Structure 1
Amino acid sequence: MATSELNFKHLRYFWTVARAGTIAEAGRLLGLAPHSISAQLATFEGALGVTLFRRSGRRLVLTEAGERILGDAERIFALGDHILESVREDSLRRSLPFRIGIPDAMPKSVVHRLIEPALHTERPGRLVCREAPLAELLAELAVRRLDLIIADRPIPPTVSVRGHSTLLGESALTMFAAPALAARLANGFPATLDGAPFLLPGEDVTHRAGLLQWFDAHGVQPSIVAEFDDSALMKAFGQASAGAFAAPTMIADYVCQQYGVQALGEVTGVTTQVYAITTERRLSHPAMQAIHEAAGKMG
């Protein structure tokens, strides 16, 4: 062989001639003059050191060496087509809506901070946020109606859904209260919570049990005036001085600013987690990567 490098342009010309059967037809398909195709084939045969065609009437028939090389060429171009198709599919996938499931009990301010950066990816597409109980969202994820669930727990072991749970972050809890109530509770916290009005998260909230254990450990029994599955509604009641409440420390500044409340102190030893639940092990979608990066900056 005259050269150690394969000229893929020559390989494409050879492949086209082999499929067309004549140099004239190959030239028509490639938009080249027949003499140019003949010259390129002669160069290709010289580089390989073999004869690729023999003439049979007006048509060109592959030699044994030509048959072997055609088989290799078919595989090479099929792989090339597959690569191009994969790129096209990926581009299409990135432009399609990205569907996120959010359980009712998830703090919406946490979710907003996580998914907002996904709007600024190179191809953000359109975010579709669906709110429902976790079990319902997992069922939709299983049939690919959702791309991602952001939850405060991994997939429960009792749920037969094939998926992957990735821990995005973890946060301690902080107690908050409206200014008038905070003035009564701040000095001597947490003992001052004993008998104080308190807004308890609903049974579906993972840190509820930890809160109740924390009360017992500190010997305080707040007066539970209401329970909420929706954390935003709970904060709204807290803003109206209905009672103290707990929220993730990672959004403490936001909670104080948005609801006009004050921080009383941290609920030591009690944390809340944030998980990404997907059907794919890797968070490969640009929106998922943006969410994962945003989680790394939260603390």
Structure 2
Amino acid sequence: MSTPLNYRHLYYFWVVAKEGGMARAAERLDMAVQTVSAQVRALEQSLGYALFKPAGRGIALTDAGVAAMTQADQIFQIGEQLPAAVRDAATGQGLRLAVGMSDGLPKLVVKHLLQPVLHDPRVRLLCHEDEFDRLLADLALHKLDAVLSDRPAPPNPNLRLYGHALGEASMAWFAPADVARKCKLPFPACLGELPLLLPTHHAAVRARLDQWFERQGLRPRIAGEFEDSALLAAFGRSGMGAFPASRWSHEELLQDRRMRLLGDTPEVLEHFHLISAERRIHHPLVQQLLSSARGAPASPAK
């Protein structure tokens, strides 16, 4: 039988790695350097491998130390979430759902994707927007329950992430009424006349839009490119140009009487994915999101 892991030793190792040295770790822990060093050596002896190596005047992680740090990060990140989880369960404050949103994902689409759980009064929703790769790192460390994205989980055996398709929606083109009135040609030819606002190439749908322009024989006059979809729509609404948006944004955009629907591009699809850190989903709200997506049509009704 293997010797049980001493989590106190692991915690001291974790602090040393975080602080970058024994002395800084000892200061943070309010302990003697010799005591911290002894605790780390005890962990190395129990694991059978050196976790640190000399590096100049300091120390650095060995390959074994990097592997141990990856696991320790997960353990102590989860531990930091324990008080809030216990408090919420004990006080009946509800179900916490921490969702990461890829920065290229339209905000109105995010609202649509999360709608199946928003009606539950127990839900306490925490939304984090960031770059795709950073969100995946946070998901792997269990800082997030799920990530919503416009692309599937990349193949990476080290992260062990799993993708789940949530559906797809066709794109449509919108413009303020005064911009739309300048069109002398029918859709889609009018897009060759108007200034256009587009997502940058970090959004998966941009490549599909460029291919569609090429098939239509259009040379777009690009007035602006935006990483943030909400900012793109805001500049579009201000009159800067026509812009594409998911059909799931259709109703909300047209509630603004100044906006006009120029036309649909049903052949240009935006795909949506939920990425989890586990193959079998245990979080009840994440299960509900997936169940709702599987029970809904792939594309919204027009």
Q: Deviations over 1:104-133 (max 9, x none)?
A: 111011111222442333742x21111100
Q: CA RMSD in A?
A: 2.6
Matched with 2:98 is 99
- Secondary structure at the aligned position of 1:97 is classed as strand
Amino acid at match of 1:230: D
Matched with 2:142 is 144
**How many Å apart are 1:168 and its aligned residue?**
0.4
| Distance 1:259-1:128 versus aligned 2 partners, 3 A rule | farther
**How many Å apart are 1:290 and its aligned residue?**
3.4
- Secondary structure at the aligned position of 1:154 is classed as coil
Question: Percent same amino acid among aligned pairs?
Answer: 37
Matched with 2:199 is 201
- Secondary structure at the aligned position of 2:181 is classed as helix
- Could you tell me whether the CA contact under 8 Å between 1:172 and 1:270 is conserved in 2? yes
**How many Å apart are 1:258 and its aligned residue?**
4.7
Give me the whole-angstrom Cα distance separating, in 2, the residues matched to 1:203 and 1:181.
Answer: 25
- Could you tell me whether the CA contact under 8 Å between 1:121 and 1:287 is conserved in 2? no
**How many Å apart are 1:192 and its aligned residue?**
1.6
Amino acid at match of 2:174: F
Q: Is 1:112 aligned to 2:111, yes or no?
A: yes
What is the TM-score with the length of structure 1 in the denominator? 0.64
| Distance 1:96-1:172 versus aligned 2 partners, 3 A rule | closer
Give me the whole-angstrom Cα distance separating, in 1, the residues matched to 2:157 and 2:201.
Answer: 18
What is the TM-score with the length of structure 2 in the denominator? 0.63
Q: What does residue range 1-299 of structure 1 map to in structure 2 within 5 Å?
A: 92=89, 95=94, 97-121=96-120, 123-124=122-123, 126-157=124-155, 160-185=158-183, 187-258=185-256, 260-295=258-293, 296=296, 299=300
**How many Å apart are 1:293 and its aligned residue?**
4.8
- Secondary structure at the aligned position of 1:171 is classed as strand
Identify unmatched segments of 5+ residues in structure 1.
1-87
**How many Å apart are 1:215 and its aligned residue?**
0.9
Runs in 1 of length 4+ with deviation above 6 angstroms? none
| Distance 1:186-1:169 versus aligned 2 partners, 3 A rule | farther
Give me the whole-angstrom Cα distance separating, in 2, the residues matched to 1:253 and 1:145.
Answer: 34
Give me the whole-angstrom Cα distance separating, in 1, the residues matched to 2:98 and 2:272.
Answer: 18
**How many Å apart are 1:150 and its aligned residue?**
0.6
- Secondary structure at the aligned position of 2:232 is classed as helix
- Could you tell me whether the CA contact under 8 Å between 2:233 and 2:243 is conserved in 1? yes
- Could you tell me whether the CA contact under 8 Å between 2:200 and 2:206 is conserved in 1? yes
- Secondary structure at the aligned position of 1:262 is classed as strand
Give me the whole-angstrom Cα distance separating, in 2, the residues matched to 1:291 and 1:271.
Answer: 21
Matched with 1:27 is none
Identify unmatched segments of 5+ residues in structure 2.
1-84
Segment drifting more, 112-121 vs 267-276: 112-121
Task: Tell me the number of residue pairs that the alignment of Structure 1 and Structure 2 aligns.
Answer: 210
